[in-house]
Chains A and B, each alone.
Chain A
Amino acid sequence: MKRIISILLENESGALSRVVGLFSQRGYNIDTLTVAPTDDDTLSRLTLTTQGDDHMAEQIVKQLHKLIDTIKVVDLTVGSHIERELMLVKIKAVDHDIRIELKSCVEIFRGHIIDVTPSTYTVQLAGDSDKLDAFIEAVREMGIMEVVRSGISGISRGEKFLRV
């Protein structure tokens, strides 16, 4: 099962490599990883996704917690939560019909065309991973040149929050 794990980390040199090292050391995979400072720039918020059963998820959370730089860890997948991923896709768009079709596809998926050249469209799309996957399938035939995905960010719904 897919797990979304959120970590609040001291924004110190070496902190990220300890998190990443832990995963390879313990034989877990990281599927996606995003990290950036929070509104408090002494803190980094890191979101990663991985696959694992309950036992494995519990171990991962405990191991992450054990890192000295870690302040808080949650497995967002245990509660109700929102996940979002940002994607930029560059698509070959020379043919007039394809440009029309692509535009309508972007509209259906509530994306934006953020760059245009005579032969390309660059599309920005945000949403959960399934939506991004579906968009890629929808435009695959048109000729994808490049795909950039940010990796998943997540936040829990309602009153719960992750803060020092």
Chain B
Amino acid sequence: MELLSGGEILIRALKDAGVKNVWGYPGGAALHIYDALYRQDDVYHLLVRHEQAAVHAADGFSRATGEVGTALVTSGPGATNAITGIATAYMDSIPMVVISGQVPLTKIGQDAFQETDMVGVSRPIVKHSFLVTRTEDIAGTIAKAYFIAASGRPGPVVVDIPKDVTDPSHKVPYSYPADVKMRSYQPTDKGHRGQIKRAVKTLIGAKRPVIYAGGGVVIDNASDQLTELAQALNFPVTNTLMGLGCYPGTDRQYLGMLGMHGTFEANTAMHHADVIFAIGARFDDRVTNDLEKFCPHATIIHVDVDPTSVSKNIEAHIPIVGTCTSVLTEMLAINKELKSKPDVDAIAQWWAQLDQWRLDKGIYTASRYEESSGNCIKPQDVIKMLYKVTGGEAIVTSDVGQHQMFAAQYYLFDKPRTWINSGGLGTMGFGLPAAMGCQLAFPDKDVACVTGEGSIQMNIQELSTCSQHNLPVKIINLNNAALGMVRQWQDMNYSSRYSESVYEDSLPDFVKLTESYGHVGMKITHIDELEEKMRECFAMKDRVVFMDIDVDRSEHVYPMQMPGGSMRDLWLNKTERT
């Protein structure tokens, strides 16, 4: 058997785990590993400018492809810089392995230079973690880490490796396990057959059904099955912020996003529904509004791979624990076998009602905000233009704030894994590095990062990474000269006292800043130049382009649920409510 050092074993194990790219940043405790990386060509390493970005980039790569993302950082500050990225992935159930160097075993516990208890610090935000204490254990641990990250409800796994475990002078035989078996971890796959049958029958009996589909459908690649079922039944579908794209956004049966900034028709339909089919969604507080007032008439069917999500916030009448794909596949088969069909008249009546709601107050049947004119560019119009210019075919990443909600509302995602955002943790600074991950995965696709002048500055140093690794992402900066979402809350709840949500005159010249990194910068201040400039931007296939677009500073995101209300209690604009 071949004798390898710990560093070499790690890299070889990554290769055997199917890893092609690693995002990372070196440092003392990881140097043996970095030396092993240097001496091979199987695993490609991308040097970032901040470890948080390494993790977000690995995360973006994973969200766009479904593969497990990989990040590599050093001990101490390298490890703690990775924490926000790990928490982001954890909240959205993204499969990822984060490898951190650690001080030598002999120094652990001595407050050694750059020592942080990474397993301890990351514990509440990982699916699992390992401290590797023997060179012989590296390959097996890596195999387990990738298995755990990708299976069941996916999530980030940390592998912390002390420096002496990767010592080049200590060589041991290499072998990668053919398959991973763990007696303590056997994730559920198939749901309970009887429950699934009950669910199908309940759906068929529904008169006012809504399908409420979340990120689980995207993660489990179950969009086709979901779409087939929804269309076979002719039921309306709403997606969560994380689920956008899992049902085609341009389809007639799509009601738009639900929740805090969801559409009037989706939120109202949920409120009046008699059956809610929740799949890969978790009744998050940004969806349900006040739990006491949540959907008073609904029988709830809840499918999720994670038993702890089921009946956590809302009691499910028909709970089903299983993967979205396996459960939907079974539901499709059962639906074909069953003789009974949905009540066509009732469903037609329900559609008449839904269409009326759309027509009255929907954001897709009419423009519910003042049009852009002259130098007043509406952020919504920028997103609509982005949709038009990219033909709805771009991968869109976003940061966090108003721009994120506008992107979610006005870019209609027809396919899963094309809308990439930090929904659970809401991490400003996610957008640009995530876009790098997407661009690496799909070099020929348009990748647009919709951001704000606040968020982009949280990881703007990554413009340098884009140069080094040739990642020609497009940055669409909705510049409202403020932490817009904060300002919106201050307008609504604090009599417009803008406590620390404005920058005075401190914003950089984004065009010059971008140019200094060797990229293309554009400033747009007039609505008439938007389309042409944006077309120019996307025509530059091999360049990073930063479009700094001045948008209406006073705009708010609507609809918006009223705190303490039911799902249908919404502000529709600054003065009108339901």
- A62-B308 contact, Cβ under 8 Å, with A13-B131, A17-B120, A68-B148: yes
B424 CB, nearest partner CB in chain A, Å: 15
Cβ-defined contact, B311 with A68, below 8 A: no
B431 CB, nearest partner CB in chain A, Å: 28
B112-147, CB < 8 A from A: 119-120, 123-124, 127-129, 131
> With the chains together, A10 CA to B184 CA distance in Å?
7
Cβ-defined contact, B123 with A70, below 8 A: no
Cβ-defined contact, A59 with B128, below 8 A: no
**In the complex, chain A residues whose CB is within 8 Å of the CB of B119:** 14
Q: Is A65 an interface residue (CB 8 A)?
A: yes
> With the chains together, A62 CA to B182 CA distance in Å?
19
> With the chains together, A65 CA to B307 CA distance in Å?
9
Cβ-defined contact, A71 with B307, below 8 A: no
- Smallest Cβ-Cβ distance to A60: which chain B residue: B308
- Smallest Cβ-Cβ distance to A71: which chain B residue: B184
**In the complex, chain B residues whose CB is within 8 Å of the CB of A96:** none
Highest count of chain B CB atoms <10 Å: which of A21, A58, A66: A66
State how many residues of chain A have any CB contact under 8 Å with chain B: 20
**In the complex, chain B residues whose CB is within 8 Å of the CB of A62:** 307-308
Q: Is A51 an interface residue (CB 8 A)?
A: no
Q: Is A18 an interface residue (CB 8 A)?
A: yes
> With the chains together, A63 CA to B148 CA distance in Å?
16
Cβ-defined contact, A68 with B124, below 8 A: no
> With the chains together, A98 CA to B129 CA distance in Å?
55
Cβ-defined contact, B182 with A59, below 8 A: no
Q: Is A69 an interface residue (CB 8 A)?
A: yes
- Smallest Cβ-Cβ distance to B310: which chain A residue: A62
Q: Is A164 an interface residue (CB 8 A)?
A: yes
- A25-B124 contact, Cβ under 8 Å, with A14-B119, A66-B306: yes
A53 CB, nearest partner CB in chain B, Å: 13
**Interface 1/0 per residue, A126-162 and B, CB below 8 Å:** 0000000000000000000000000000000000000
**In the complex, chain B residues whose CB is within 8 Å of the CB of A69:** 184
**In the complex, chain A residues whose CB is within 8 Å of the CB of B148:** 68
- Smallest Cβ-Cβ distance to B185: which chain A residue: A68
> With the chains together, A54 CA to B257 CA distance in Å?
33
A21 CB, nearest partner CB in chain B, Å: 5
Cβ-defined contact, B127 with A68, below 8 A: yes
**Interface 1/0 per residue, A8-32 and B, CB below 8 Å:** 0110011001100100010000000
Cβ-defined contact, A70 with B184, below 8 A: yes
A53-109, CB < 8 A from B: 55, 58-59, 62-63, 65-66, 68-71
B→A interface (CB under 8 Å): 119-120, 123-124, 127-129, 131, 148, 182-185, 306-308, 311-312
Q: Can you show 27 pairs from A to B with CB atoms below 8 A apart?
A: A13-B131, A14-B119, A14-B123, A14-B129, A14-B131, A17-B123, A21-B123, A21-B124, A25-B124, A55-B311, A58-B311, A59-B308, A59-B312, A62-B307, A62-B308, A63-B308, A65-B307, A66-B307, A66-B308, A68-B127, A68-B128, A68-B182, A68-B185, A70-B184, A71-B183, A71-B184, A164-B183
